[in-house]
Structure 1
């Protein structure tokens, strides 16, 4: 009896021991969410304002991931938001991607950043991160009250949330200050005048996050991808340079040096250095915005035409028309090349004001070499240089000279070493003929052939 009882207990005991050994492995496995998946993991940083430059970078990252047959794209998000039109295009890019996508919110997925996250297949947030606060604002940071625009953006946010099976009312509450949203999962109610912004823990409870991880690699592992096959899409040198050149402070400095350099070269010609510096700064300004995707070829055309018109204004009398048209073309080129029109006007205004001060100082210092000397007659027409005044020459009456040209009836004669334009009363007097002044009427000196003595 004892032997049979021992045999009955041995089976369950061994099974219990086996479960005890395997349990820690199952609990500690990073791929508990799903079975291990194949394919490389591509991490694309979304760590700048959402505009065309970031859009081109993300498009390149998605294309690269598709070409390499990646299994997962991780959007490493930490952005304050940006342009709605760019966010809409990028949302479509994420949603329509044939590759599985996950939004890893590292810091803030604010405004348009939350829209990008909602278009991903999964959302993973890091501790201390935030998603939401997606109300539309203008360039000054003021809330947009236009009902049509608010309704458009709210519908986009709601649609992105509901496609992923999330509560669309919460997405609406992230965009519209005029609605009330109940969130019983976190014991909160969004009142009118408020905007929803969720922490990582809150987002997890209301279904706006699927997991909490510390790194993008951990998020990929949670989805079942190996951490040994991870690639991070890096910005190219050109993209980094473009990012630096499109910084508002750098843009202002470039415009200041460009305006000051070109104008100083025009009004104080001969140095060469100011002109070269000015042109280089303008080229850097337009190149940075062109690479970032803000500027098109038309901005280069506007700038070049405007500069040529302003140069021509200094040499061709046009009653200011060329100067005005040139200024309009220059300003249009500079403003159209920038990401934000209001920022461009501010940068241009500061740069132009500072440039005027420097130009005024340089003009005073080098006033003797300025371009204005081209329009001022500085040579004196003195008698010792062979010039005669246009005043009456009564003292010439009775003076004898010799004709230097045939007088038919006008010509030139020499009187005591001075060349004078003369005229006869109608008679023809050949060259090298002695003549005498018989009348001086203003600038009209009348002569006749001198009689032989």
Structure 2
């Protein structure tokens, strides 16, 4: 009992952390300063959580009336939809944006660098290789590739002096640029020297201080913006690869809990996974508290189904839970796929538990009557009067074959062995089977 209380206390603590702290995790508005620049890292993969972090950073820079934003880029790429949202953020701000490619700006990273007002690269930096590759490792279909090539072209065209052919060659293997070491069949990747040569960068800078010197911002106060702990967690949780894994753990943990007595580790894992899912999407700005309320309502309806017959309440509850999870995500299609994966994992888990381990739903133990009133346990539907066997009496009515007999003033419902017996005849009781009393006519010996 004490262990169960500790588990429930732990879950409650996680819930409080997940739902109450996000509001204080976000950086509060800073007092407006003058003559400042913001240094913001874009490292690792580009995904939805990064967009949420940059939203917060850009907003703070605008509130402080920053003179410039320096994006420190070192990324192998990431998801194009996340890169598209970040590019919108960069295009919408009135602040001067400078991309400092501090080693590599590949794929979606190159796309973001093209949206900056100015680009500087380290001497050994690279920029390009922006072809779209699916998670399976194969090239994306032609429709998706065509749209992405146009986006790369448009990004280059928005900045004066950039020839869009190079941006297109980064995403299109059919463009032949042998003078840049990118023959037909390969994606274009520019070195720092080549990028400067084709006017895709304003210069080569070994350090960030060199960038400040080249942009005449070395006399400005530089504010370093880093993701908070909660934003780090949110970036991990909202990663499109992590989401289906997290939901699968949640569904499998809760399914296993249904087959286990009490509340244990599997149930705690399921609840913690759900808390982390909503927590990450709250911090990332994709989910609102209305999605959490919808989830709680759905869970309550599913619980009510065990006490309200019909099935409609449970179906509505399941629909509400799925809708809340889908609404919490940034991409509806990806969330639906993630939910389908989680449901599939739960179904497979149920089959294995029932077929391999022979488990049954213990949650139904309190709802299904399992006690049986058997004769072995002393339960009988009526009194079995075996004491009547051998006693004699007179028939009050004819037995056809049932009728009434009298034994010393006690009237009994009886049946004959099968033969007709007239009223007033003497009969003997030969068998008693519950309420069935069988008699035989007693004949006088000659």
Query: Structure 1 stretch 215-224 or stretch 151-160: which is displaced more?
Result: 151-160
Instruction: State whether residues 394 and 440 of structure 1, in contact with CA within 8 Å, keep that contact through their aligned partners in structure 2.
Output: no
Instruction: State whether residues 182 and 189 of structure 2, in contact with CA within 8 Å, keep that contact through their aligned partners in structure 1.
Output: no
Deviation at 1:103, TM superposition (A): 0.2
Deviation at 1:440, TM superposition (A): 6.9
Map of 2:153 onto structure 1 = 158
1:127 aligns with 2:116: no
Instruction: State whether residues 47 and 235 of structure 2, in contact with CA within 8 Å, keep that contact through their aligned partners in structure 1.
Output: no
Map of 1:451 onto structure 2 = none
Radius of gyration: which is bigger? Answer: 1
Output the CA distance in 2 between the equivalents of 1:249 and 1:176.
Answer: 26
Map of 1:290 onto structure 2 = 282
Structure 2 residue corresponding to 1:378, chosen from 357, 364, 371: 371
**TM-score normalised to structure 1 length:** 0.66
1:213 aligns with 2:242: no
Superimposed CA distance per residue, residues 251-309 of structure 1 (whole angstroms, 9 cap, x where no aligned partner): 56644553344334434343466544432321112221332244456754665465456
Q: Secondary structure in 2 aligned to 1:75?
A: strand
Deviation at 1:168, TM superposition (A): 1.2
Note closer, same or farther for the CA distance 1:361–1:244 as it changes in structure 2 (3 Å cut): farther
Structure 1 residue corresponding to 2:228, chosen from 219, 231, 236: 236
Instruction: State whether residues 123 and 204 of structure 2, in contact with CA within 8 Å, keep that contact through their aligned partners in structure 1.
Output: yes
Output the CA distance in 2 between the equivalents of 1:155 and 1:438.
Answer: 97
Output the CA distance in 2 between the equivalents of 1:368 and 1:381.
Answer: 25
Output the CA distance in 2 between the equivalents of 1:238 and 1:302.
Answer: 23
Deviation at 1:362, TM superposition (A): 11
Q: Which consecutive unaligned segments of at least 5 residues does structure 1 have?
A: 1-37, 400-424, 426-433, 447-453
Instruction: State whether residues 49 and 239 of structure 2, in contact with CA within 8 Å, keep that contact through their aligned partners in structure 1.
Output: no
Deviation at 1:76, TM superposition (A): 0.7
Across the aligned residues of Structure 1 and Structure 2, the Cα RMSD in angstroms comes to: 4.4
Instruction: State whether residues 50 and 235 of structure 2, in contact with CA within 8 Å, keep that contact through their aligned partners in structure 1.
Output: no
Note closer, same or farther for the CA distance 1:353–1:232 as it changes in structure 2 (3 Å cut): farther
Output the CA distance in 1 between the equivalents of 2:381 and 2:163.
Answer: 97
Deviation at 1:65, TM superposition (A): 1.4
Deviation at 1:197, TM superposition (A): 1.1
Structure 2 residue corresponding to 1:65, chosen from 61, 68, 90: 61
Deviation at 1:232, TM superposition (A): 1.0
Superimposed CA distance per residue, residues 342-371 of structure 1 (whole angstroms, 9 cap, x where no aligned partner): 98369737864785589569976x879663
Equivalent residues in 2 for 1:162-177, closer than 5 Å: 162=157, 163-177=159-173
Output the CA distance in 1 between the equivalents of 2:361 and 2:243.
Answer: 33
Deviation at 1:178, TM superposition (A): 2.7
Map of 1:408 onto structure 2 = none
Note closer, same or farther for the CA distance 1:435–1:217 as it changes in structure 2 (3 Å cut): farther
Q: Secondary structure in 2 aligned to 1:54?
A: helix
Equivalent residues in 2 for 1:8-407, closer than 5 Å: 39-147=35-143, 149-162=144-157, 163-181=159-177, 187-188=179-180, 190-226=182-218, 229-246=221-238, 251=243, 254-255=246-247, 257-271=249-263, 274-295=266-287, 300=292, 303-304=295-296, 307-308=299-300, 310-311=302-303, 318=310, 334=325, 337=328, 340-341=334-335, 344=338, 348=342, 352=346, 356=350, 371-372=364-365, 374-375=367-368, 377-382=370-375, 385=378, 387-388=380-381
Q: Secondary structure in 2 aligned to 1:219?
A: helix
Instruction: State whether residues 259 and 361 of structure 2, in contact with CA within 8 Å, keep that contact through their aligned partners in structure 1.
Output: no
